[in-house]
Amino acid sequence: MLKSHYEPTATRAALINKHSHCKVKAYGGLALNWPVGGLNPYAVANSLKNGAKIIWMPTRDAANSLTFGNMSGDFFDRPGITILDEQDRLKPVVYEIMDLVRENDRFLATGHLSPKESIILCREGVKRKVPMILTHPEFPRTKMSGEIQKEMADLGVLIEKNWFNIGQKAVTPEEMAHNIRTAGVSRVYIATDRGQGTCPPPAEEYGEFIAMLIRQGFSDAEIRQMTTEVPRQIGHEQGVR
């Protein structure tokens, strides 16, 4: 899965699949930051038409994220984006986006929204039968307790786990393992959040994540669920879940 904070990646994934001759298949998505118009249903519709598998709510440009300051690589000043109105209700455009994602049988991820926003979004998304992902809840800007993660998982939300959060020491291997077990391996998939030019290659980091899970006592079957079975729900061409 190719993720960019600033541009759609579905067409890039298509080019990789056509020309790289890789054994694995690349997928793309869209993060709803200012370069694509923020909460822009037209950008969502276009990306879904081009094969995007995940639509992320704002990441670096989320109001919640910007309360922590810019992230490395940010290069313009901007107001933060929130999905809630002044009465803490979801904005009408958020429902438009949710409907587009559901109609195309893809996934909507919480991005760098605040825990409060993410919980509201996930609960409403599940009510509207939108496939939902809780994005890296061990990341300092989006951190949630294991108990809240379990609540979301019990609703049917998929929970993303990133090796980068261990690498940056935002969470210990023990805490990560505890949160995975609390949410349940059948609702969790692992990723790296790597691919930056200054970081180790994602495949190498993915291997480190699996090795850590083995050290934490996860079985081969549990690891297969988090590395194969759950991700297959996201990437399956027919959207089978």
Whole-number average pLDDT of the chain: 95
pLDDT in the model for residue 39: 98
Indicate whether 109 pLDDT > 50: yes
Range of the domain at 7: 1-124
pLDDT in the model for residue 196: 86
Rama region for 193: left / alpha / beta (φ>0; ψ in -120 to 50; rest):
left
Domain membership of residue 130 (yes or no) is no
Same domain, residue pair 101 and 146: no
Tokens of 102: 């559901």
Say if CB 52 and CB 28 are below 8 A apart. yes
How does pLDDT run across 18-77, given as a tens digit for each residue?
999 988 899 999 999 999 999 999 999 999 999 999 999 999 999 999 999 999 889 899
Same domain, residue pair 97 and 177: no
How does pLDDT run across 138-196, given as a tens digit for each residue?
999 999 999 999 999 999 999 999 999 999 999 999 999 999 999 999 999 999 999 88
Domain boundary among 93, 124, 155: 124
pLDDT in the model for residue 85: 98
Say if CB 236 and CB 228 are below 8 A apart. no
- How many domains does one find in the chain? 2
From the list 158, 186, 171, the residue with the least C-alpha distance to 216 is 171
Domain membership of residue 100 (yes or no) is yes
Indicate whether 218 pLDDT > 90: yes
Domain membership of residue 240 (yes or no) is yes
Same domain, residue pair 50 and 156: no
pTM of the model: 0.95
Show the DSSP H helices in 4-91 as ranges. 10-19, 41-49, 63-66
pLDDT in the model for residue 235: 84
pLDDT in the model for residue 237: 54
Same domain, residue pair 140 and 79: no
Query: In 3-state terms, what secondary structure has residue 72?
Result: coil
